[in-house]
């Protein structure tokens, strides 16, 4: 399914300074973007932060299409949030909230697009390691996140493929034709993943 290439934060190889920056620095910058966007509510500051994130995006030499894609995926959500904030507090607050959300999402996308998934998972496993004394299993947690990252684009791609197939047959308004194949394909994908894990001795608690 084409959904395997659909994940918003899919890694995009490169040699830019953003790619070479350590993960901890990118994480701190992401936290700074979120803090500046929401801890200090100001429309001008939110605009400046959003502009800075866009500049960093192009400095990382990421495709321009990757700026629009995450925004398009949550466009309805942004419109609803903007409408509510406009009604409650006016246009300045509406823009501040929307710009803050966009800046944070795009900054997250830059982090994942410039960092290999293996590095992200290794760092996540390291971060969870202190919880081992409380019974947590960092390796299992990392495996779970890895499976989630693989499953999300598959399901999104499945919806797109089924939608196109239904449209080609004139069934774009048929809810059953647009959902049943996705459910069947998703269940089959989950079963195949479980069987693959079991064949490798993974997925079950170790005694």
Q: What are 50-81's pLDDT values in tens digits?
A: 999 999 999 998 888 778 877 777 788 888 99
The model carries a pTM of 0.67
What percent of the chain stands above pLDDT 70? 75
Mean pLDDT in residue range 195-203: 60
Side-chain-facing half-sphere of 203: CA atoms under 13 Å: 14
Most confident region among 96-100, 113-117, 192-196 by mean pLDDT: 96-100
Do residues 107 and 52 lie in contact, with contact meaning Cβ atoms separated by under 8 Å? no
Task: Extract the tokens encoding 173.
Answer: 């308004």
Task: Give CA 111 to chain center in angstroms.
Answer: 10
User: Please, what is the average pLDDT of the chain?
Assistant: 78
The candidate with the shortest Cα–Cα distance to 56, out of 114, 115, 110, 112, is 110
Please tell me the predicted confidence (pLDDT) of residue 49: 92
Confidence of residue 83 (pLDDT cuts 50, 70, 90): very high
Give yes or no for residue 23 having a pLDDT over 80: yes
């Amino acid at each position: 399914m084409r959904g395997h290439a659909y994940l918003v934060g899919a890694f995009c190889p490169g040699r830019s300074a953003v790619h070479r920056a350590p993960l901890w620095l990118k994480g701190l910058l992401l936290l700074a973007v979120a803090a500046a966007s929401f801890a200090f509510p100001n429309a001008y500051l939110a605009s400046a932060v959003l502009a800075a994130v866009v500049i960093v995006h192009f400095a990382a030499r990421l495709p321009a299409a990757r700026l629009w894609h995450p925004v398009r995926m949550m466009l309805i959500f942004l419109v609803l949030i903007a409408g509510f904030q406009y009604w409650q507090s006016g246009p300045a607050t509406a823009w501040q909230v929307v710009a803050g959300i966009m800046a944070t999402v795009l900054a997250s996308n830059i982090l994942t697009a410039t960092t290999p998934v293996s590095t992200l998972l290794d760092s996540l496993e390291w971060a969870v390691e202190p919880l081992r004394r409380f019974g947590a299993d960092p390796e299992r947690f990392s495996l779970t996140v890895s499976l989630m990252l693989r499953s999300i684009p598959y399901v999104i791609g499945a919806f797109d493929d089924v939608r196109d197939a239904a449209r080609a047959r004139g069934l774009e308004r048929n809810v059953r034709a647009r959902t049943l194949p996705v459910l069947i394909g998703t269940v089959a994908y989950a079963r195949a993943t479980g069987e693959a894990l079991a064949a490798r001795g993974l997925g079950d608690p170790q005694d």
